[in-house]
Each structure stands twice: as structure tokens, then as C-alpha cells.
Amino acid sequence: MAIFRSRTSALFLLLLVLLFHLPPLFPGRELEKRRVHGADMGLNSHRSVLKMKSLVPASTCNPPPTERVGSLPLVHRQGPCSPLLKERLQRCNSTLINLRDQSRINSIRRSLASSSSSSSSIGNDLPGTGLRIPVVGHLEGAGEYVVTVGLGTPRRDLPVIFDTGSPLTWTHCLPCPTQGCCPQNDRCFEPSKSSTYSNPPCPPNCNYSVFYADKSFSNGFYVQDTLTLNADYTFPNFIFGCGQNNSDGFGTSTGILGLALGDHSLISQTTDTFAQIFCYCIPPTYNRQGYLLFGFGALQQCQTNQYTSILSDQTGSFQYFIKLLGITTGKQTLNFSELAPLSSPSRTIIDSGTTISRLPSSVYLALRDEFKKEMSEYPVAQHLPSLGLDTCYNLEGHENVTLPKVVLNFDGTDVNVDPSGVVWRESDSQVCFAFAAKEKEDDLTIIGSTQQRNLNILYNIQANKVEFGTGSCGS
Ligand SMILES: *[C@@H]1O[C@H](CO)[C@@H](O)[C@H](O)[C@H]1NC(C)=O
Ligand SMILES: *[C@@H]1O[C@H](CO)[C@@H](O)[C@H](O)[C@H]1NC(C)=O
Ligand SMILES: *[C@@H]1O[C@H](CO)[C@@H](O)[C@H](O)[C@H]1NC(C)=O
Ligand SMILES: *[C@@H]1O[C@H](CO)[C@@H](O)[C@H](O)[C@H]1NC(C)=O
Ligand SMILES: *[C@@H]1O[C@H](CO)[C@@H](O)[C@H](O)[C@H]1NC(C)=O
């Protein structure tokens, strides 16, 4: 796949993008085409069946029969497909996940507050280099899914957390001046062992620091070296962070693959090749494998059929803002502007690093009540207050559970949440409704990774689109 490496081929790719994404000739057709996307495993139109067995963490990895050409496998960091040996098969502890989710939300809250009051908080342009140094308050850490990327020559394969909410890519790095900088020796980038390593042009210094609200952090310096994505694509002089002093909140993952917006994100650095297009599918279960695809490969192999616009007026943020108008469950459509007039539908982000979606509390409460009605045949179980999940059921002895469908009504498209994204599995018998209320009404509404499971989601940044597809990770 060496075809799209030069500027001319990037132009060609842009042409292709335009062809794939021509605006409708008749605007009215858009409305006719508007329909529900997502898994359709229905009993009847508003309910679907989920096999309880599919929620049980299996001990063997179940990769798809055929992988998409050029794709990077995307796997749960604690599932059997995970390259993070130490974390494999650990039980997901909801306390920990909530800690990560809540810190992330606090951190988004702070970074938005500071970026609206002062544009310099986004980072400082260093004279003559164009390189920006992230400052305190950036959103980092915490995702649950990993991909493996190659860095340096010979290339070292490093499992990193896949994060659409982070603008910076960084890795654990040797030599290690501090404790905890490199938890596993073979899983750290080692500049001195790479023949293609160099220092990026960033006088007077190349230091970076990222701090998280949960007090985890990474600091170090920027380096540049070859980035290899699935052997097919190599990017010489890719700039990323070489973490010298990292807290241990990242488990045995090696760092972060930052797929958010921003002048020095991976998306910006690979524009000539990928035209700012990527697509992923988050696996529906722990033992399945999803994928991450870039550029032409994403356009070609990631089936999508409807889109919502990326809102470009949310300046000063690296996040992908989209407009969520409502949520439908059972027979009830909940309208954001009616139920939560103070929570603008435009203040919604889609984020792979937050686990459980956060909704305005009035919307959440109405959604939950409707869900409860639909689930009245099942015995209730203890809440999981740590995760903000207050609607749980004991499904011991049930082979299948019949769930009401949940549809996210975005501006322009309705996306059917996969049944695996409607409930959170806490134990073999206990499941909980996998949505939560925002802590503060003016926090962002967040579409988290659980609700994104098993959907093809394509980001076409130059066209300002997030596209959704019916497909699934496995085919
Ligand atoms: C989850 O992890 C937290 C923090 O490590 C711990 O306090 C708690 O006991 C754990 N809960 C379970 C159910 O393992
Ligand atoms: C950059 O970080 C190094 C340690 O990694 C430190 O010695 C140096 O003083 C820092 N430079 C600046 C300008 O902060
Ligand atoms: C590592 O970074 C943390 C957070 O910035 C700082 O408190 C600590 O002193 C640093 N440790 C070393 C050895 O530089
Ligand atoms: C939501 O409510 C607003 C205000 O009443 C209305 O203008 C809008 O059409 C409604 N949206 C949907 C999807 O029903
Ligand atoms: C559960 O669903 C499967 C189909 O998905 C069906 O074959 C099976 O009979 C169902 N089990 C029960 C107990 O209803």
C-alpha cells in the first residue's frame, strides 16, 4: 500500500474523498435516507436479544476470520487478545474505571474552562518551529482499548492506548531516569537503539508535560523517529513524546496513541498520506478484535452510510464535538432541548477514552425510567454507585436477555447502539444499564467507548464528518 505517499497522491485521495462524499443533489433526499443504523437483532422493532454468554469474558482470543487489509487490531486492554500480558484476564474493576472516567471529565472541564479564557493555554508556539508544547489540563490517559504501533529502526512494537480524546502521542522511553518510567523493558522506546532517531527542531527545549486530574502524568521530551502502522505505512520523523517520568496509571500499556485534533497530533502529522481520515470498530466483547484503519483503507473498507457533522465552532479544544439531539429507547424519544434546555446539544463529544456515556441528568433519568419499564420482567440487583450505574439486574440463570434498543439521535443520523453497548457487565449474573448522568449540568455530554461498540465509525476531518455504519468489527 505504498500508493498514497506523496502530495500528488494525497490530492488524488482528496478527489476520491470528494467522490465518495458528494453532497446530495436533492436536499430532501437526505431526510428520506435518514434511518436507523446499527445492529439489528430485533425481536420486534424496539427490542433486541443479547446472549448472556457473549458478556462472559472468554479466555481465548477470537479474531475475525479475515482482517481488513492494512488495519491495526484494536483490543480491550484486559481481554484475551490484549498484548498487555500482565493486564490480561484481570477482572475489569468498575471502581477503577469510574476513577478514570471521572478524572477525564474533570480534566475536560478544566481544559475547556482555560481554553475559553485564554488561547495560550492550548500550548505555546515555539518561535521558528511550529511545535506546540501541551500544558496542564490536557486530556489524557484512561482508555480501555489498545493498538500496537511500531517506532524506530529496527522497529519496536509498542501497545498504546487508543484515544480519540488526546492530541499527543507519547510512549514509555529508555533510558529510564525515574522509577516507573518503563514497567516492561521490551515495551519501551529506546532512542539510542534506533538508527533513525533524531531530535525535533524545537529550541530552546523539547520538554513536554501532561498531567491528569487523577494525578497521573507523563513528562519527558519530544523526539522524532519513524512511525510504522501495520508494516504498510511508515512515517519518518514522526514527532512524539519520550516519557521519562510517568505515573503508573497506564498499566503495562506503553503510552497513548493520540487521535484527537491539534496541530501536532498523529492526524496532522500524517495528513499527506491519510488525508485526515480514520475509522475504527470497538469490539463488542472482551475476546473479540476490532480494528483501526487510516486514509484510503478506511474509506474503502469501513462501511458507513450516514454521518453527523463535526462542529468546527468549538474552538480551543482537541475534542470531536458532534450534535446529539435526542435519545430513543423503547417507544420513547427523549428530546434534549426539551428535557435539558440548559445543556446545549452541541456540547457533546465522542470519545474513545471515556468508558460510560454521560448525559444531562434530566435526560438520563427519563431514559432510565423507560429502560426500567422495558426491563420490568427481570429482578433488580445492587447498584454500582462507583460507576454511576444505578439500574442493575440479576440475570442469573438467563440464557438471553431482551433489551430495549437505544438509539442516539444525532443531527443528521440515528445510530442504533449495539446490544453490547446498552448494558455493562459487572459479573456473570449482574448487568447494569450502561449510561450515567453528568455530575454537573454544564459538563460536556460524552459518547463513551461502551456505546460505540461494534459500530464502524469513520472520521473525515477535512469534510467535517463523523460517519456511522451498520457493519460490525468481525466482518
Ligand atoms: C477495585 O479496585 C479498588 C481500587 O484498587 C479496590 O479498592 C476495590 O476493592 C476493588 N473492587 C473489587 C470488587 O475488586
Ligand atoms: C527539560 O527537562 C530536563 C529533564 O528531563 C531538565 O533537565 C531541563 O532543565 C528541562 N528544560 C527546561 C527548559 O525546562
Ligand atoms: C516526576 O514528575 C512529577 C510530576 O511532575 C514530579 O512531582 C516528580 O518530582 C518527578 N520526578 C522526578 C524524579 O523528576
Ligand atoms: C425537540 O424539541 C424542540 C423544541 O421543542 C423542537 O424544535 C425539535 O423539533 C424537537 N426535536 C425532535 C428530534 O423531536
Ligand atoms: C436464546 O437465544 C437463542 C438465539 O439467539 C435461541 O436459540 C435460544 O433458544 C434462546 N434461549 C432461550 C432460553 O430462550
Which of 159-168, 198-207, 338-347, 358-367 is predicted least confidently? 198-207
Whether residue 126 has pLDDT greater than 50: no
Question: Whole-model pTM?
Answer: 0.82
Any atom of ligand 1 within 6 Å of the Cβ of 99 = no
> Do 469 and 458 meet the contact criterion of CB atoms below 8 Å apart?
yes
Give the percent of the chain with pLDDT over 90: 41
Return the ligand number nearest the Cα of 426: 1
Q: What are the beta bridge partners of residue 189?
A: 173
Which of 15-29, 45-59, 195-209, 371-385 is predicted least confidently? 15-29
CA-proximal residue: ligand 2, atom 3 (nearest): 207
Whether residue 130 has pLDDT greater than 70: no
Return the ligand number nearest the Cα of 97: 1
Q: Which atom of ligand 2 is nearest to the CA of 245?
A: 5
Q: Which atom of ligand 2 is nearest to the CA of 206?
A: 1
The stretch 10-38 carries a mean pLDDT of 41
CA-proximal residue: ligand 5, atom 1 (nearest): 400
Q: Which atom of ligand 5 is nearest to the CA of 398?
A: 13
Any atom of ligand 4 within 6 Å of the Cβ of 448 = no
Any atom of ligand 5 within 6 Å of the Cβ of 399 = yes
pLDDT for 3 equals 31
Any atom of ligand 4 within 6 Å of the Cβ of 268 = no
Please say if 163 is a catalytic residue.
Answer: yes
Q: For 449-452, which contacts have Cβ atoms below 8 Å and span 24 or more sequence positions?
A: 449/143, 449/144, 449/145, 449/282, 449/351, 449/352, 449/353, 449/354, 449/355, 450/355, 450/356, 450/357, 450/421, 450/424, 451/357, 451/406, 451/408, 451/417, 451/421, 452/282, 452/350, 452/352, 452/421
If one residue of 131, 170, 207 were mutated to test the ligand 2 pocket, choosing by the most ligand atoms within 8 A of its CB, it would be 207
- Annotated catalytic residue: which of 163, 214, 225, 443? 163
Q: Cis (ω within 30 of 0) for the bond into 204? A: yes
pLDDT tens, 152-210? Answer: 999 999 998 888 988 888 898 988 777 767 877 778 899 999 999 998 887 667 888 87
Any atom of ligand 1 within 6 Å of the Cβ of 95 = yes
- Annotated catalytic residue: which of 101, 214, 351, 414? 351
pLDDT for 295 equals 96
Domains of the chain: 46-55+304-470 (2.40.70.10), 72-111+126-297 (2.40.70.10)
Give the percent of the chain with pLDDT over 70: 74
Q: Which atom of ligand 1 is nearest to the CA of 94?
A: 1
Whether residue 132 has pLDDT greater than 90: no
Q: Which atom of ligand 5 is nearest to the CA of 400?
A: 1
Whether residue 51 has pLDDT greater than 60: yes
If one residue of 135, 172, 245 were mutated to test the ligand 3 pocket, choosing by the most ligand atoms within 8 A of its CB, it would be 245
> Do 33 and 25 meet the contact criterion of CB atoms below 8 Å apart?
no
3-state DSSP assignment of residue 353: coil
The stretch 461-468 carries a mean pLDDT of 96
pLDDT for 128 equals 25
What's the CA gap between 447 and 80, in Å, rounded? 25
Any atom of ligand 4 within 6 Å of the Cβ of 337 = yes
pLDDT tens, 383-440? Answer: 877 777 899 999 999 999 999 999 999 999 999 999 999 998 888 888 999 999 988 8
